[in-house]
Structure 1
Amino acid sequence: MTFSLVARCAETGMFGVAISSSSPAVAARCSHARAGVGAVASQNVTDPALGPMALDLMEGGMSAPNAVAEVRRRGKFIDYRQVLAVDAQGRAAIHSGTHALGIWTQAQAPDVAAGGNLLANDRVPQAMVDAFLGQAGYLGDRLIAALRAGLAAGGEAGPVHSAGMMLVDKVSWPVADLRCDWTEDCPVEEVATAWEVYKPQLDAYVQRALDPRAAPSYGVPGDE
């Protein structure tokens, strides 16, 4: 019930996850990323524990392919899961279990992996990878382009209701974690709009956490 993409920016080392689903709050359960380590999506009859497991394995020195292989060995009911991962060297890996729902497929290239289930057709993940690779610039912009491309290629077999985009970079928390947990409209465009608003402020929010004395004005009534 999901299509997603995990990616690394080769220039900055940032990682990101972009995801959408007919289920509510998909990003809260399925998106995982850790600065300097990698990004993982765990989906399809989701086991959220698989994301941190894969990240721990990569942080311990495993490549994404080896980490996904170990997740397959350790994970419960792994034939029902999809797991996508990319590591700090840009190596990508995907596991799609034989009990993945409906039309399911996957695509990958250096620095990026995409996969989905209950899809409208088997072209959706490749469309996402192509869109990501076809656009230069900020990782967040490329993730939004990939989400839009997946939706334009058909997306899920039915309407999607939630979406999310996560970015990590250098600090221990996500520098962006934007979500639409439920809408009857287009959740991808809801997240895209949130990104347009958040992107110009991203660096300021990080600065406020690291040293508020050097932070720019908050830009709210009463702030001087």
Structure 2
Amino acid sequence: MTFSLVGHCAETGQLGIAICSSSIAVGARCPWLQPGVGAVSTQNITLPALGPQVLEHMACGLSPTQALDSALTRNGYSQFRQLAAIDYRGRTAHFSGSETLGCHHTLPGELCVGAGNLLAGASVIEALVRTFETSGGQLADRLLAGMQAAVAAGGEAGPVHSAALVVVGELTWPIIDLRVDWADEDPVGKLAQLWAAYRPQMQDYIVRALDPTQAPSYGVPGDE
């Protein structure tokens, strides 16, 4: 039903998640990130509260593994949950309960961790992680490359309908927050198109927020 890739860039300090699902609007429920703390994907039979709770525990000094254990114990029903997490140091943790759907797999990698359920096969997550590890470019580029490799390796066992890409850096808000909430086909491809359109504008939006006097032209009527 869902697979995700959680990653960290040691050079920039950015943290990011790319995710897709057969369900609608996966980006509204599953990816959770906090600058300077970590990133968490909570999926399978999703409890969104787990994301903020894991981040809160990591912010208080717990390791990702300790943070996952604490949040899962607090909420119960852990047998239905699947999570993947990374902290600002690049330490990872993952969990798949006994009731995780279908063929499922989790795999830590170098500064990343992949997780999925109802997969076409375990090789999907292996392709996800290995491609991230060997790809270049920005963190967002590497996350999407991993997702596209996972799709090419078979992806989910059924159709996928939504996808999301979220990246945080030094600012208190996400520098990238792109979503395909519903597509009849290839939401990961559509997400990649969104990133290609947003990438050359990303820095402009940051400048506009931090120093409007230096903002480039908005290109709208009345703008001078």
2:159 aligned residue? 159
1:50-89 alignment runs, 5 A limit: 50-89=50-89
Deviation at 1:221, TM superposition (A): 4.4
1:206-217 alignment runs, 5 A limit: 206-217=206-217
Deviation at 1:219, TM superposition (A): 2.9
CA contact (8 A) 2:50 2:72 kept: no
1:46 aligned residue? 46
Distance 2:32 2:68 in 1: 14
1:175 aligned residue? 175
1:10 aligned residue? 10
Deviation at 1:192, TM superposition (A): 0.4
Deviation at 1:110, TM superposition (A): 3.1
| 1:185 paired to 2:154 | no
CA contact (8 A) 2:29 2:46 kept: yes
TM-score (norm 1): 0.97
Distance 1:221 1:14 in 2: 35
Look up the SS of the partner of 2:29 in the other structure: helix
Runs (5+) with no aligned partner, structure 1: none
Counterpart residue identity of residue 199, structure 1: R
Look up the SS of the partner of 1:174 in the other structure: coil
1:19 aligned residue? 19
Distance 1:69 1:53 in 2: 11
Q: 1:189 to 1:222 in 2, by over 3 A?
A: farther
TM-score (norm 2): 0.97
Distance 2:20 2:49 in 1: 19
Look up the SS of the partner of 1:86 in the other structure: strand
Give the % identical residues.
Answer: 50
Distance 1:67 1:73 in 2: 10
Distance 2:135 2:12 in 1: 15
CA contact (8 A) 1:84 1:115 kept: yes
Counterpart residue identity of residue 149, structure 1: A
Deviation at 1:150, TM superposition (A): 1.1
Distance 1:87 1:126 in 2: 21
Partner deviation per Cα, 1:143-193 (whole Å, 9 max, x = no partner): 110110111111110110100000101111111110000011210011100
| 1:141 paired to 2:164 | no
Look up the SS of the partner of 2:130 in the other structure: helix
Q: Note the aligned Cα RMSD (angstroms).
A: 1.0
Counterpart residue identity of residue 43, structure 2: Q
